[in-house]
């Protein structure tokens, strides 16, 4: 098998652990914290999780290990979209498991939760796992998006665990996957299966965070990867001086990725969905805001710039959300067939015009035709518009172009506007993890086994104090139910982990807000360059700008 020099070198990297986890398994004890309650809907969440609700937060300290000595057979799955560092979670879990007892066994269930349902697995050994240390991707066992939600599924998983003598499951995933982990842990406890469930916080979107989870793994590497590319584009823009680059970045439900990339690169424009929603900004207002930057820079002779657009931005625009809701109603049930049967776009447009309210039709009418048509492409399994298919970077550049044309006709703008478009998505999900993510993920996996060894279930592996050197990190665990509230999903009330949105009163956004007016008009680009793995600590072990500002 051919390998790059970097790949070979990364195999040799030894991830750093929090100080208390470096003492050796025999010298790790538990310190109990306070009892917990859910972030909201306490009575409802407690009623749904009678066996796992309200447990104490815990931290690990140096001291005599008092856990029960027994053989552990642990299963692990990767769930949802890829995030850099997932391999190191598995490696940390494996190393802790083997350091405790060489007879312990780690099963990797393939393809995400479906591996548990289909009993599709491999058993890890040194030779196999050593091929994946400090590397990106989820190809060690693959991932999947099957949700574990039903009693029938839980019974199948319980039977799979019983068949192999599995004593604990580790579920590595985002908010939905860890919600499923909490529900599965409750089922196992209620049915006295003896199987523990531990979660690990993963998502490059950065929306699985709170006072306990300072950062989900993968966010650091993905944003550094995107920021390198954005910096390269900015350098090109500043060299050619003739293009405006509209760059869409990952982040369907929150704008953490866009904000972090803006903090790292200082583009002319970065839209933050949470601010758009709070200010109830219209599409026209957003276009006017971007066009102001274009016009002001053109007045200086700079007909170039960079705008960062979060993937889910249109869902934060109130008038657009209303439009989507009306379209979903317009094409409900058999109406879709009637619409699809119309032979021309002109006839379909007339159908739409007759079915929308005057206000929503006004919004629809200002959209470029290709975006209008995208709204009527494939539906999701519930028959709704797939908003994620909308090319929002092209939408806003088209709206800005129309805005500038009106300014030019009025004699208030004389520049040139040549837009180019980019979408940074998959490029960041499987990158070689940064030293931070390699260390953090290894610690999460190692820590997950300590939670298993001490008998915890329904807990999330927690490593905090992350803005400090790894020696000062604090390892422990928190009940997953602490992060939960009740939300309406598909017409039903469901217990789910609350997504963390960008806080407009938080230090990262405030720093951005204080500087963006200057960035919009001047050329203040920063060029982060590639992730560095070898060299000075201040270069190689940097945390994100978001985390640094939050913990300043």
Please report the DSSP string for 244-256 in residue order.
EEEEEES-SS--H
Q: Which residues pair with 239 in a beta bridge?
A: none
Sequence-ordered list of residues with C-beta below 8 angstroms from that of 541, at least 6 positions apart, any chain:
435, 436, 439, 469, 470
What is the C-alpha to C-alpha distance for residues 229 and 427, in angstroms, rounded to an integer? 10
Sign of CA dihedral 183, 185, 189, 192: positive
The rounded distance, in Å, linking the Cα atoms of 547 and 552 is: 8
205 is known as an active-site residue: yes
Nearest alpha-carbon partner for 76 in 47, 45, 109: 109
Residues pairing with 463 in the sheet: 475
484-489 and 419-424 as β-strands: parallel, antiparallel, unpaired? unpaired
Of 95, 175, 176, 205, catalytic: 205
If you write DSSP's letter for every residue of 153-184 in order, what string do you get? HHHHHHHHHHHHT--EEEEEE-HHHHHHHHHH
Residue 472, Cβ density class (10 Å: 0-12 exposed, 13-18 middle, ≥19 buried) = exposed
Report DSSP state, residue 517: H
Other residues' Cβ atoms within 10 Å of the Cβ of residue 330: 17
Tokens of 66: 């008092």
Stated as kind and residue range, the H or E segment containing 269 is strand 269-270
Helix axes 283-299, 507-521, angle to 10 degrees: 50
Instruction: Report the candidate in 234, 321, 232, 241 with the shortest Cα–Cα distance to residue 270.
Output: 234
Rounded Cα distance between 190 and 169, Å, is 16
Residues counted in the chain: 552
* Catalytic residue set: 205
């Amino acid at each position: 098998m051919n390998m790059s020099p970097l790949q070979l070198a990364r195999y040799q990297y030894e991830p750093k652990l929090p100080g208390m986890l470096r003492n050796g398994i025999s010298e790790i004890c538990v310190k109990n914290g306070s009892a917990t309650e859910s972030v909201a809907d306490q009575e409802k969440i407690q009623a749904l999780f009678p066996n796992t609700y309200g447990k104490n937060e815990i931290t690990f300290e140096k001291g005599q290990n008092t856990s029960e000595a027994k053989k552990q057979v642990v299963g692990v799955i990767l769930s949802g979209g890829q995030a850099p560092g997932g391999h190191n979670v598995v490696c940390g879990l494996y190393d802790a498991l083997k350091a405790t007892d060489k007879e312990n066994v780690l099963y990797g269930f393939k393809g995400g939760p479906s591996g548990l349902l289909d009993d599709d697995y491999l058993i890890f050994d040194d030779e196999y796992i050593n091929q994946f240390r400090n590397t990106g991707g989820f190809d060690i066992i693959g991932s999947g998006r099957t949700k574990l939600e039903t009693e029938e599924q839980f019974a199948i998983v319980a039977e799979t665990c019983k068949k192999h003598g599995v004593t604990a499951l580790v579920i590595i995933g985002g908010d939905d996957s860890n919600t499923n982990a909490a529900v599965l842990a409750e089922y196992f406890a209620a049915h006295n299966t003896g199987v523990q469930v531990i979660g690990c916080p993963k998502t490059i979107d950065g929306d699985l965070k709170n006072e306990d989870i300072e950062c989900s793994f993968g966010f650091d590497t993905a944003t550094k990867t995107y920021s390198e590319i954005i910096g390269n584009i900015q350098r090109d823009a500043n060299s050619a001086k003739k293009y405006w680059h509209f760059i869409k970045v990952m982040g369907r439900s929150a704008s953490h990725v866009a904000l972090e990339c803006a903090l790292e690169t200082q583009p002319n424009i970065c839209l933050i969905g949470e601010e758009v929603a709070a200010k109830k900004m219209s599409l026209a207002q957003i276009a006017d805001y971007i066009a102001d930057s274009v016009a002001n820079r053109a007045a200086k002779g700079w007909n170039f710039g960079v705008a960062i657009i979060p993937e889910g931005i249109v869902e934060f625009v109130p008038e657009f959300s209303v439009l989507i809701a009306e379209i979903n109603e317009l094409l409900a049930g058999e109406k879709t067939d009637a619409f699809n049967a119309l032979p021309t776009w002109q006839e379909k447009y007339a159908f739409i015009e007759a079915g929308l309210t005057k206000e929503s039709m006004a919004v629809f009418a200002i959209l470029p035709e290709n975006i209008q048509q995208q709204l009527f492409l494939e539906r999701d399994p519930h028959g709704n518009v797939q908003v994620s298919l909308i090319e929002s970077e092209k939408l806003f550049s088209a709206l800005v172009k129309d805005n500038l044309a009106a300014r030019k006709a009025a004699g208030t703008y004389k520049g040139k506007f040549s837009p180019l478009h980019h979408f940074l998505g998959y490029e960041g999900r499987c990158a070689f993890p940064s030293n931070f993510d390699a260390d953090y993920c290894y610690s999460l996996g190692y820590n997950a086994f300590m939670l298993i060894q001490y008998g915890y279930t329904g807990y999330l592996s927690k490593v905090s104090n992350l803005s400090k050197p790894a020696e000062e990190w604090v390892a422990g665990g928190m009940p997953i139910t602490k992060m939960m509230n009740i939300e309406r999903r598909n017409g039903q009330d469901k217990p789910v982990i609350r997504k963390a949105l960008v806080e407009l009163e938080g230090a990262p956004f405030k720093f951005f807000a204080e500087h963006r007016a200057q960035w919009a008009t001047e050329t203040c680009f920063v060029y982060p360059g590639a992730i560095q793995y070898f060299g000075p600590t201040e270069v190689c072990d940097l945390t994100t700008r978001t985390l640094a500002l939050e913990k300043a």
